[in-house]
């Protein structure tokens, strides 16, 4: 992902097609009263950000699960640690 570009909300409205086309090259942050109110990303950048994070988190969960199982964790032990459901 490249450097972020900033545009005002009014500029984004006036130049919508150009701003939208620009997200293919770089993310665009939309400002209203000098505050960030939105970020526009290309579908490729969005999928990379969300997909990689989900995959990384799943790999982390799988490693923790295997480590817990190797140390004797199972549903019965977990139930004993957590206690009864409220």
CATH number at residue 12: 3.40.1620.10
- Overall number of domains in the chain: 2
Do 53 and 70 lie in one domain? The reply is yes
Strand order in the sheet with 5-8: 5-8, 28-32, 35-40
**How far apart (Å, rounded) are the C-alpha atoms in residues 52 and 22?**
23
Task: Mark whether 50 and 36 lie in a shared domain.
Answer: no
Strand, coil or helix: 62? helix
Structural domain including 9 reads 5-41
The pLDDT of residue 8 is above 50: yes
- pLDDT tens per residue across span 9-24: 999 999 999 999 999 8
3-state secondary structure of 31: strand
40-84 pLDDT tens trace: 999 988 888 887 778 888 888 899 999 999 989 888 888 888 888
Flag whether pLDDT at 1 surpasses 70. no
15 lies in the same domain as 32: yes
């Amino acid at each position: 992902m490249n450097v972020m570009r900033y545009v005002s909300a009014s500029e984004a409205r006036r130049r919508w097609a150009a701003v939208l086309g620009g997200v293919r090259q770089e993310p665009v942050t939309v400002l209203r009263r000098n505050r960030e109110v939105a970020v526009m990303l290309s579908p490729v950048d969005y999928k990379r950000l969300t997909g990689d994070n989900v995959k990384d988190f799943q790999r982390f969960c799988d490693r923790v699960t295997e480590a817990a199982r190797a140390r004797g964790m199972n549903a019965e032990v977990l139930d004993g640690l957590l206690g009864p459901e409220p």
